[in-house]
Amino acid sequence: MWDLVEKRVLSTFDHHCDHFMDEKTCGNVTCKRYPLVIREYRLLRGEIWDASFSAKLGKAASKLYREIYGKSPNSRRSTRAHRNVVTSYPCGIIEQAYRQLREQGVPLDALWRRRMEERQKHREESELRELREMAEIKR
């Protein structure tokens, strides 16, 4: 299913916004060739984000949208889960909000990285414990 969503998003985007992901040419915050939701933007970038980064990006994009247009961004039903409401933003707004967050040093996957480090530490501790137990058994 994810492949279909990504193909749909990418194929539709190829027809509308030739300069997507080219940070040199599409720096215009008012570029609205293609409306995107945060999840679609993440898929197009091919990055792994945790929920906290997605939430921060949505808040930053909403703030930019309100500053420029003087109203809240449009919401629509999610294509993935119709019961959920998602906010769509012009591509320029999301790109600008993304750049701002990255310039501020906000990590994409801080929560995920922290969990992986904890798991790695736990594995190392248990391996060390097992080696000690084996050394005691051999004595």
pLDDT of residue 5: 43
pLDDT of residue 29: 64
Q: Which two three-digit tokens encode residue 85?
A: 């409401």
For all residues of the chain together, what is the average pLDDT? 78
What is the reported pTM? 0.61
Calculate Rg over the CA atoms of the chain: 21
- Position with higher pLDDT, 137 vs 97: 97
Give the residue among 113, 89, 109 at the shortest CA–CA distance from 101.
Answer: 109
pLDDT of residue 30: 64
Environment class of 125 (CB within 10 Å of its CB; exposed 0-12, middle 13-18, buried 19+): exposed
The Cα–Cα gap between 100 and 117 comes to 27
Residue showing tokens 């197009």: 44
Q: Is 74 left (phi over 0), alpha (psi -120 to 50) or beta?
A: beta
Residue showing tokens 């792994």: 48
Q: Tens digits of per-residue pLDDT, 62-100?
A: 999 999 999 999 888 888 788 888 999 988 899 999 999
pLDDT of residue 70: 93
Domain ranges of the chain: 2-108, 110-139
pLDDT of residue 25: 43
